[in-house]
Structure 1
Amino acid sequence: MKAKHARYETRGPVPQDVISAVEFELPPPASGQATVEVLASPINPSDVLTLTGEYGILPPLPTIGGNEGVGRVTAAADDVSGLAVGTLVLLPISCGSWSTHLNLPAKALVPLPPGADPVQLSMLTINPPTAWLMLSEFVDLQPGDWVIQNAANSAVGGYLVQIAAMRGLNTLNVVRREDAIAAVKASGAEHVLVDGDDLPKRVRTIVGEAPVRLAIDCVGGLSTENLARCLSEGGTVVNYGAMSGERCMISPRYFVFRDITLKGFWLSQWFKRTPAAQRMAVFADIAKQVAQGKLRARVQAEYGIDQIKEAIAAAAAGEREGKIVITPTRNS
C-alpha cells in the first residue's frame, strides 16, 4: 500500500527546510509484526533540535521524524496473537512516528484504553513521565511540600502542575513573560511568578518559613541560580533542558554555603537503567490518568503529514500556547 512519512536527509538551522512528506511503499506485515495506522504524534523540542543537529544524540541519516505516538492496529502477521485489529496502541519510542502507517514488532506495542483521546495519549511517552519522575527520583516529597519550577508554561511544566496536585504537593510556577501566566493558571496552577532577580523574596511571601527542597529547571542561564536561591539549605535543582540556550549558571557559594545540589535528568537514561516491568508500571499509571481525563496537555494545533513543514515551523516558534501534534491522515 502507498503510505507517507516525514523524511529528512540533512540537518540545518531552519528545521522545516530539511524535512518533507514523501510517499513510500508499505509491505504487508512480516512475521511478528503488526501494521499500525498512526493517529497522532507530537512534535517535541527534542525533535526540533534533532532536525537542527543540536540534540545530544542524533540518528544516522536519512531518517524519519517522530519519537512517540499512538496508532490503531489495521493488520497483523499470522503468527501474532492477542493484538486484535482495531486495538489502540502506544508506539515504541523512536519509531519514526511522523508516518501515516508503520509496520512494527507486535511485542513492542502497548495496548491502550479504548475510547480515550488519541491526541492526548500520543504525548504519553516523554513529557508526562519526565514530570512524573522528576517529582519522584530526587527528593522524598510528602503531601504539603513545596516544589518550584521554571518553564511552567511548557508541556512538561503543565504535566508537573497536574501530577503535583494529584500527590498533594504545592507548586511555585515560574515563567519568563507576563502573557504566559494565564495559560499556566488554566492548567491548575495557583502560584505563577515571572522570573527575576527578586524571585526568592516573592517566593518567601507565598511559602513563609516552609522549606522548598526541590527546583525543576528547563531554562538554564541565570534562571538556574534564581531557582537555587529560592531553595532551602540542602535543596536540589534538577535540570532537564536549556530553553535559554545558555549553560546553567550558579555561584559556587550556593554549593559551598547552602549545600545546594545540581543534578540532570534525561528520560533516555532512565529508560536504559530501569527494568521493563517498572517502566511499564509508570506508563500504565500515566495512561490511566490520561484516559480518565485527569492528565492533559494543551494543544495549539494539529497538522496532517503533508503539512509537516508548517507544523515544524509552528513547533519551533518561541511563543506557543500548546503542543503541535501531527495527525498524519488529517486532510491537508
Structure 2
Amino acid sequence: MQTPKHARYAYRGRVPHEVIKTVEFNLLPPLPDEARVQVLAAPVNPSDVLQLTGEYGQLPPLPAVGGSEGVGRVEAINGNARGLEEGDIVLLPLGCGSWSTHLNLPTRDLVKLPHDVDPVQLAMLSVNPPTASLMLSDIVELQPGDWVIQNAANSAVGGYVAQIARRRGIRLINVVRRESAIEAVWQAGGENVLVDAEDLPRRVEETLGEIHVRLALDCVGGVHTEHLARCLAPGGTIVNYGSMSGERCMVSPRYLVFNGINLRGFWLANWLRKARADRRQALFAELAAMVADGSLHASVQASYGIDEVREAVQAASAGARHGKIVIEPNGRSRAAI
C-alpha cells in the first residue's frame, strides 16, 4: 500500500488553494464494525471551496480534511460487514473528508455500488444529482410537459437538472451568464439556451411564446434571481440553492407581492437530516441506476492526484470551466475527459 496521504487545512482564508496542503498521515487499522476504504475518486464541489474560505453554511472543526463526497473500494473489514465484501465499490458518506488516499469508515455508512461503472461518475453521486432530482420533485408538483427555468445551466447541477428533466418529460429553459457557455449546454443536449440579462423575460417570450413557467432554479443570486422571477407565471416558485454571484437574492416586492411569487431555499443537508432512511436509499438507488445506464453523466474538465490538491482547488475556483474538477487520490486515470 502506498503511503497514506490526505489534503488537510488548519485555517480558512480568502484564497482557498493557499490554505490546503497534502500531508502524510498514519492510517490505523479499522475499528470494530469499520472498513478500510481506498478512495478512488472525489470531486471538488463549490461547497468544498466555500468550506476552505469559511463561507459555507456548515463548517467542520479545524483542522479538517477536505472533500465532502466520493467513491472507494473496500480493502479490509473488521467486524460486522453489513453485506459488504472486500473489493466492493462503495459510496462514501457525506462530509467524510474524501480527499484522502484511505479512510476508515463505519460499514453502516457505506452504500454498495455497481462494479462496472466509471468511479469518477459515481463519485459525484451524493450531492449534485440528488439536489437536482429533489428540486424537480419536492418543491412544485410537476407533470410531463410543465416548464421550468434554471440559471447556471452549464454548472454540474444544471447538467443533472437537464438530464433528469428530460427523463421525466419536463420542459426546460436554460440560462447562462456568458455567450461562451452556450455551446457546452448545447453539446450536453440542452435546449432553449439564453444568456442572462435584464431583458431575459422578453427573450423567453420571443423564443418560446407565451408559456406557463411554474418553477425557477436559482444558483446565482443577486439581480439574477429577479430575472428568473419575472419569467414566472403568477404564483410561481423560485428555489435558491447557491450564490455564484456572491450576492444576496434580490427580488422586488412587485413580483413577490403582486405576482404572488414564492422564494425559498434548498439545502440537501437539511433534506437528508429529515428524510426517512428508506427514502434516502431509494433516491440514491435510482440515481446510481441512471449513472450505470448512462442517462446521468457529468462533464469532467480535469482530474488531479492527491499531491496536486492545490492545483485542483485552484482550477475548481476558476469562473470559466467546462466541467467538474475531480481528485483521484490513488492515481490519476486521465488528464481531461
Distance 2:274 2:26 in 1: 36
Distance 2:142 2:79 in 1: 49
1:254 alignment counterpart: 255
1:177 alignment counterpart: 178
| Alpha-carbon distance change, 268 to 79 in structure 1, aligned in 2, over 3 angstroms | closer
Provide, for residues 44-92 of structure 1, a one-character-per-residue CA deviation record: whole Å limited to 9, x for no partner. 0010010011111111100111100000011111443521111000001
Amino acid aligned to 1:170: R
> Residue 31 of structure 1 aligns to a residue in which SS?
coil
1:144-163 correspondence to structure 2 within 5 Å: 144-163=145-164
Q: Is the 8 A contact 2:225 2:249 kept in 1?
A: yes
Amino acid aligned to 1:15: P
Distance 1:275 1:20 in 2: 37
Q: Is the 8 A contact 2:185 2:193 kept in 1?
A: yes
1:100-139 correspondence to structure 2 within 5 Å: 100-139=101-140
1:164-243 correspondence to structure 2 within 5 Å: 164-243=165-244
1:91 alignment counterpart: 92
Distance 2:286 2:89 in 1: 17
Aligned residues: 332
> Residue 41 of structure 1 aligns to a residue in which SS?
strand
Distance 1:124 1:79 in 2: 25
1:60 alignment counterpart: 61
2:305 alignment counterpart: 304
Distance 2:34 2:71 in 1: 16
Amino acid aligned to 1:250: V
Q: Is the 8 A contact 2:82 2:108 kept in 1?
A: no
Distance 1:65 1:96 in 2: 5
Provide, for residues 160-184 of structure 1, a one-character-per-residue CA deviation record: whole Å limited to 9, x for no partner. 0000000001110000000000111
Q: Is the 8 A contact 2:49 2:317 kept in 1?
A: yes
Q: Is the 8 A contact 2:80 2:107 kept in 1?
A: no
1:14 alignment counterpart: 15
Distance 2:164 2:238 in 1: 18
Amino acid aligned to 1:248: C
2:293 alignment counterpart: 292
Amino acid aligned to 2:21: S
Distance 2:284 2:82 in 1: 22
Provide, for residues 11-66 of structure 1, a one-character-per-residue CA deviation record: whole Å limited to 9, x for no partner. 11111111111111112211101111000000000100100111111111001111
The Cα shift of 1:301 comes to 0.3
Distance 2:10 2:36 in 1: 25
> Residue 258 of structure 1 aligns to a residue in which SS?
coil
Amino acid aligned to 2:188: S
> Residue 131 of structure 1 aligns to a residue in which SS?
helix
The Cα shift of 1:198 comes to 1.1
Amino acid aligned to 2:169: G
Distance 1:71 1:98 in 2: 11
The Cα shift of 1:295 comes to 0.3
The Cα shift of 1:210 comes to 2.4
1:32-43 correspondence to structure 2 within 5 Å: 32-43=33-44
1:82 alignment counterpart: 83
The Cα shift of 1:207 comes to 3.1
1:72 alignment counterpart: 73
1:324 alignment counterpart: 325
The Cα shift of 1:257 comes to 1.1
Q: Which ranges of 4 or more aligned residues in structure 1 deviate by more than 6 Å?
A: none
The Cα shift of 1:227 comes to 0.3
Distance 1:44 1:111 in 2: 22
Distance 1:79 1:52 in 2: 38
Q: Is the 8 A contact 2:34 2:79 kept in 1?
A: no
Distance 1:196 1:239 in 2: 18
1:275 alignment counterpart: 276
Amino acid aligned to 2:15: V
Distance 1:228 1:80 in 2: 50
Distance 2:13 2:79 in 1: 43
Distance 1:6 1:182 in 2: 34
Distance 1:30 1:60 in 2: 22
1:264 alignment counterpart: 265
| Alpha-carbon distance change, 249 to 78 in structure 1, aligned in 2, over 3 angstroms | closer
